[in-house]
Amino acid sequence: MKAILLAAVLATMGQSATAREFSYPIKAGMPATVTTNGGEHERATVRVGSGSEQALGEFDEEIDEMLAVDIDHDGYQDLVLGQSGGGSQVVSRLFLYRPDNGGFQEIRHPGGDASPCHGFVNLSFHAERPEFSVACRYGAGSHGFEEYVLRPDGTVHATSWTTQALFELETAQAELTYRFTDGGAIDGIDIEGEGSPLEDGVVPVSKLDMYDAPDVNARPSMTAADNEPLQVVAVRPRGWLQVRTAGDALKWVRYGDLRVDKHRYQPAPPAEGGLELTLFNYLDEWDDEESGGRFTLGLDNHGAAPITLPAPRVWLLLINERGDRIVHPLLLADRIALGPAHGPAGTSGIALADAPVRWQPDEGNDGKPAYMIRENEASFVPVLPELAKGRYRMTAVVTDPGGLQAPLYSNEVEIDYPFPKR
């Protein structure tokens, strides 16, 4: 595709803010002149030939890049006005020339804040079709891609958006690619990278509970079996994914249920000579001022060899009085190195967690009060989800993709929920 960069615009960078005029050919024998006023809130107008001025719009920063390109491949050069703000991210506005009325029509970005780039950033136009792409980078862990097709009416249809998401208890962000139908609805979300749920689009556990609503206290309305195909269609806060089944039903699943196979869990004593995870029953003893209302979890090595866990994740598995199982992501612990059982004193065991439970605002949930424990020096995490009132059996689970071949389960304790709010 032939594109004309108006170098004169770039040459004016650093000059005083004054009105400027720049000319380019819409096509042979049809010149156009773009004028910017150079003010604090810059305004741009365009005149085709000897016609009257047409307003293009107001801009919050100086226009420092201008491109003439046939975006819709109709034989007429359209207009791209860009603002870099002195950085590498060029945010542009697009204007189609309409030969039927001799005017310009702005192509509006359809995504707003929901899109990865929030605008037409660092544009790249297709050489043969009325399509273009967007690419932005706002930090080491924040970048996005957007693909668009231009419709005859001057609107654009997104075909895909790519962004990142950090799922609970993961150390690296996963890459999310949203695919759209022609009508603009989400057709599916492909998730790749560390912590990717439903890798290869199939269920990774023996049985997956599915719900009609993203509610931790709801009863499952369906289940899916190991290797059954599911397509993610929505990602929601607090660890919920909406999925489409092979039968086209829309259901909700929890991210934790894809990481811990809760239906395989059976209470059993710890294996001799291996790791032992001990959950202390202090949450059911709130009258004990010494230890009550405290979450304490210990890990001990009873084996003859040292053990290292590079990135241990701690989950809680709760079973209510109806037998429903709930997986709750608790915390991502630091690297653990345990010595052998008969090594120097104090090297074969560690407290994975030992913190008082506090009723305080949960900053990760719009400041709504919750039972919180300290995760590290800077943050707190909910020790439990907002459960229905009742009696629960609870066990802790440790997973580590680099250090454990199978989840490690603690002993069971019983608790009443809710706790006192002290």
Check: CATH 3.90.1200.10 for 264-417? no
- Using a CB cutoff of 8 Å and minimum separation of 24, what contacts does 129-135 make? 129/73, 130/71, 130/72, 130/73, 132/71
Task: Give the model's pLDDT for residue 2.
Answer: 40
Amino acid occupying residue 4: I
- The first and second tokens of residue 354, run together, are 């030992």
Residues forming CATH 2.30.30.40 domain(s) in the chain: 199-259
Give the helix/strand (H/E) hosting 5. Answer: strand 3-5
Cα separation of 403 and 311, whole Å?
Answer: 8
Residues of the chain with pLDDT under 70: 1-18, 39, 86, 287-291, 422
Distances (CA, A) of 226 to 206, 218, 250, 408, 409: 5, 22, 18, 21, 21
Task: Give the model's pLDDT for residue 325.
Answer: 96
Residue with tokens 């934790």: 256
Task: Give the model's pLDDT for residue 222.
Answer: 96
Task: Give the model's pLDDT for residue 389.
Answer: 96
First to last CA, the chain: 68
| CATH number for the segment(s) 199-259 | 2.30.30.40
Task: Give the model's pLDDT for residue 288.
Answer: 64
Task: Give the model's pLDDT for residue 312.
Answer: 95
Cα dihedral 127, 131, 137, 138 in deg (nearest 10): 150
What letter does residue 401 receive in the DSSP assignment?
T
Residues forming CATH 2.40.128 domain(s) in the chain: 1-107
CA–centroid distance for 12 within its chain: 40
Task: Give the model's pLDDT for residue 41.
Answer: 78
Look up the pTM and report it. 0.85
CA–centroid distance for 233 within its chain: 13
Q: By 3-state DSSP, what share of the chain in percent is helix, strand and coil, each rounded to 5?
A: 5, 50, 45
CATH fold group of domain 1-107: Lipocalin (2.40.128)
The SS3 of residue 151 is coil
Cα separation of 80 and 30, whole Å?
Answer: 18
Contact partners, residue 5, CB within 8 Å, separation at least 6: 66, 67, 68
